[in-house]
Amino acid sequence: GAGVSQSPSNKVTEKGKDVELRCDPISGHTALYWYRQSLGQGLEFLIYFQGNSAPDKSGLPSDRFSAERTGGSVSTLTIQRTQQEDSAVYLCASSLGGSQGLVEKLFFGSGTQLSVL
């Protein structure tokens, strides 16, 4: 596609339920990022995928959060047993990867607004 696509754009769930958020990166981009944007919290790094390397999971806030990237393309962020504090906008971004990719800009999706009631 022309840009980074995220779905759904909005998700309302009940506390304790599991949710899956999807990200379709730009074709050919080997680097993929997940961030969380909460009011007053800025952009919080969650996880980073680069090609076939082991992902950098250092930003995941708890073991309820996990993410995978299948075939080096589509990524899914899963939140188990959602809590109200998980309510936020979840942003996905992609960029050219590898050593050259370190200087490249990120292209962001429009995000998924998650509301946990």
Partner 1 sequence: AQSVAQPEDQVNVAEGNPLTVKCTYSVSGNPYLFWYVQYPNRGLQFLLKYITGDNLVKGSYGFEAEFNKSQTSFHLKKPSALVSDSALYFCAVRDLASNTGKLIFGQGTTLQVKP
What are 6's strand-pairing partners? 23
Q: Please select the residue that binds partner 1; options are 31, 60, 79, 88, rule is CB under 8 A.
A: 31
Cα–Cα distance between 4 and 20 in angstroms, integer?
17
Other beta carbons within 10 angstroms of residue 14's beta carbon come to 8
Residues numbered 58-77 forming contacts with partner 1, rule: CB under 8 A:
58-59
Selected binder of partner 1 within 23, 88, 91, 116 (CB under 8 A) = 91
- Tokens found for residue 92: 């996905």
Q: Where does this chain bind partner 1 (CB under 8 A)? A: 31, 33, 35, 40-43, 45, 48, 50, 56, 58-59, 91, 93, 97, 101-103, 105-111
